[in-house]
Structure 1
Amino acid sequence: MTQHPTPDERRPANDGPKAAARNRAALIAAAREVYAEQGLDAPLSGIARRAGVGQGVLYRHFPDRAAVADAVLEENVREVEQAGAAPGATLAGVLGVLTWHLTESAAFIGLLHPDRTGGRPDDVHAHASALSERVERSLRVHLGDGHRLGASDDLMLAIAMVSGAVTGPTREERERRALAAWRLLGVEVGPVRPFGG
């Protein structure tokens, strides 16, 4: 015998654009987590599952794997920019946000090494370079005169060195190693947390 749902048991009305924005944000957050755990080759179905949406919803927002990674990278850069532009922002505080992204997002580390194209098409390399430059601008405005990372390439070289140290099976281990690398470089880092966290 088939039972039909009563009016109270039916699915809620479609929230339209609100639901779409929530789903997109959930997919980006899930992708960041899944990439941190499994790397950039993680199955897209796992990202959709972690976000609590169907795979069709993922493909409505992101047509392919590259688009998902690009959205995570863009969100990471946007948060570093917001941290850098916040009232009272300091280099240490912005580095804390950057370091959080390094420990949370495997995709972010490749961005900070745009000179290593690894066979990527020129447009992908150019986009990665542009994102990397945005990160550098967000940090450079907080470098005081005579700061040890003030020379032309020193800031991004230090970030590349720290990102190379961000290894380990857990986020805590990756954070510990990142902070140790900053300490060895003699650079103060604020609390390691997402912007606004």
Structure 2
Amino acid sequence: MTQHSLADERRPANDGPRAAARNRAALVSAARAIYATHGLDAPLSAIARRAGVGQGVLYRHFPDRAAVATAVLEENVRQVEQAAAAEDATLAGVLGVMTWHLSESAAFIGLLHADRAGSRSGIGDCAPALSERVERGLRGHLPNGHRLGAADDLMLAVAMVSGAVTGPTREERERRALAAWRLLGVEVGPVRPFSG
């Protein structure tokens, strides 16, 4: 039996905290991609595989399904809030950013319908707070007397539009979202992510 010295063996470098931050970012990115296609009920194992890590690493960063979904959806909501807080923000512009997220991500649509029966996403507990943040961002730009100004009309319109956002491609989903806004008589600005 031949013994090899430890010096002869190559071991991968231990990046410590840098690896943890890199793994978390990879998991959020993978979850965003998986959720964009499959929605909030997508299997966590698919997220870990896409990120190139084991499920143990996923659970080290996110204790449950709701924590993964919240990390992903937080960025969607934050972009809507940033668009609403921009100096030159208008309702049409904020709706354009929100519509981009609706067209891009089945998960963001799921957020707006998280209390639906049968969802395993676990997002239901934090969905109201995230949804309220979206509503605040939009409502802050509603002109007095706007057709969506009544109590629940704004978020009902958002739910109606999000229900129309279907299709195999992002372009098709965007086309349907814009058609739904048009049918509601609501102007939407350029459909794009917020870039501050």
- Give the superposition deviation at 1:150: 1.6
- Tell me which moved more, 76-85 or 64-73: 64-73
The within-5 A match list for 1:74-85 is 74-85=74-85
Instruction: For 1:11-50, list aligned pairs within 5 A.
Output: 11-12=12-13, 14=15, 16=17, 18-50=18-50
Q: TM (normalized to structure 2)?
A: 0.82
In 1, the alpha carbon distance for the partners of 2:155 and 2:23 equals 33
* Rounded Cα–Cα distance in structure 2 between residues aligned with 1:169 and 1:141: 33
Tell me, in whole angstroms, the C-alpha distance in 1 between the residues paired with 2:16 and 2:150: 51
Matched, 1:169 2:194: no
How much identity, in percent, do the aligned residues show?
76
Query: 2: CA distance between counterparts of 1:165 and 1:14?
Result: 45
Structure 1 equivalent of residue 95 of structure 2: 95
**Pairing 1:1-197 to 2, within 5 Å after superposition:** 11-12=12-13, 14=15, 16=17, 18-113=18-113, 116-118=115-117, 125-196=124-195
Shift of 1:127: 2.5
Deviation at 1:179, TM superposition (A): 1.0
Segments of structure 1 that go 5 or more residues without pairing to the other structure are none
Q: For 1:49, what is the secondary structure of its paired residue?
A: helix
CA 194–26 in structure 1, closer or farther in 2 if over 3 Å, else same? farther
Q: Number of aligned pairs?
A: 193
RMSD, aligned α-carbons: 3.1
Amino acid at match of 1:57: V
Structure 2: runs of 5 or more not aligned? none
Tell me the TM-score normalised to structure 1 length. 0.81
The worse-fitting range, judged by mean Cα deviation, of 83-92 and 42-51 is 42-51
Q: By how many angstroms is 1:12 displaced?
A: 5.0
On the 8 A contact 1:33/1:104 being kept in 2, the answer is no
Tell me which structure has the larger Cα radius of gyration: 2
